[in-house]
Structure 1
Amino acid sequence: MTTLQPLAYGYVRDDLLSNRDPSASDTLLRAAARSLGYVLGTVFHEPGPQSATLPPVFVDLVHECRRAEACTVLTLPGHLASTSVCRKVLLAILDASVQEVSP
């Protein structure tokens, strides 16, 4: 019998990427998910700072986590730290864990 691995999603702010190559961050998150025992679904890419309290792509991430009942979000260091409201939403509303993956 095959066991299903838990589902995780990724979140990246493209403006914080040092090499400006979003596919490199996707590859990194996919490898990290695999090593942590997750299957990585979509990586949500936020284009940059937003004036809204919750950035639009982050809201999409929350809706998808809720729909799929995923409780883990993988991100790069600092990509959710600058938006503490976002981290609180993930932890409180979704009861999700946030794991930062170092390059």
Structure 2
Amino acid sequence: MTTTLLPLAYGYVRDDLLDDHDPGSSEDRLREIAGSLGYELGTVFHEPAPQNVTLPPAFVDLVQECRRAAAHAVITLRGHMSQMAVCRMVLLSILDVRAGAAVHEVTA
């Protein structure tokens, strides 16, 4: 029996935007979506409420981990890369250029 390994994806959520404030349910949803897109979901990076920093700290960790593991996909909930000190397009560009990762924004 041969087992096929799915490509790795990471998750990214902002805890201040979670409706139910239950990180476990958002992670379960991302895991389900990752599977339907043909990925194995690794770590989900949780960002606290946005602060006035150039790049959000969990986002920086996400980029570094994508580079380290050669993961080329990030799955996030719609709007979780918006309304921060850095605009959404800059965040998407950083993931693309520095980690070669594409972002899949999905509804909760």
Q: Do Structure 1 and Structure 2 share a fold, with TM-score over 0.5?
A: yes
3-state SS of 1:93 partner: helix
TM-score by structure 1 length? 0.93
3-state SS of 1:33 partner: helix
Match status 1:49 vs 2:50: yes
Residues paired across the two proteins, number: 103
Q: Note the aligned Cα RMSD (angstroms).
A: 1.1
Match status 1:33 vs 2:34: yes
8 Å Cα contact 2:66-2:72 kept in structure 1: yes
C-alpha displacement of 1:4: 1.3
8 Å Cα contact 1:74-1:101 kept in structure 2: yes
Structure 2's unaligned 5+ residue stretches are none
1:14 corresponds to: 15
TM-score by structure 2 length? 0.89
C-alpha displacement of 1:19: 1.5
Percentage of matched positions with identical amino acids: 59
Q: Counterpart of 1:22 in structure 2: which amino acid?
A: P
1:75 corresponds to: 76
Where in structure 1 do 4 or more consecutive aligned residues deviate above 6 Å?
Answer: none
Q: Provide the C-alpha distance between the structure 2 equivalents of 1:89 and 1:21, rounded to a whole number of angstroms.
A: 28
C-alpha displacement of 1:2: 2.4
Structure 1's unaligned 5+ residue stretches are none
1:96 corresponds to: 101
C-alpha displacement of 1:92: 2.0
Q: Provide the C-alpha distance between the structure 2 equivalents of 1:81 and 1:49, rounded to a whole number of angstroms.
A: 10
3-state SS of 2:46 partner: strand
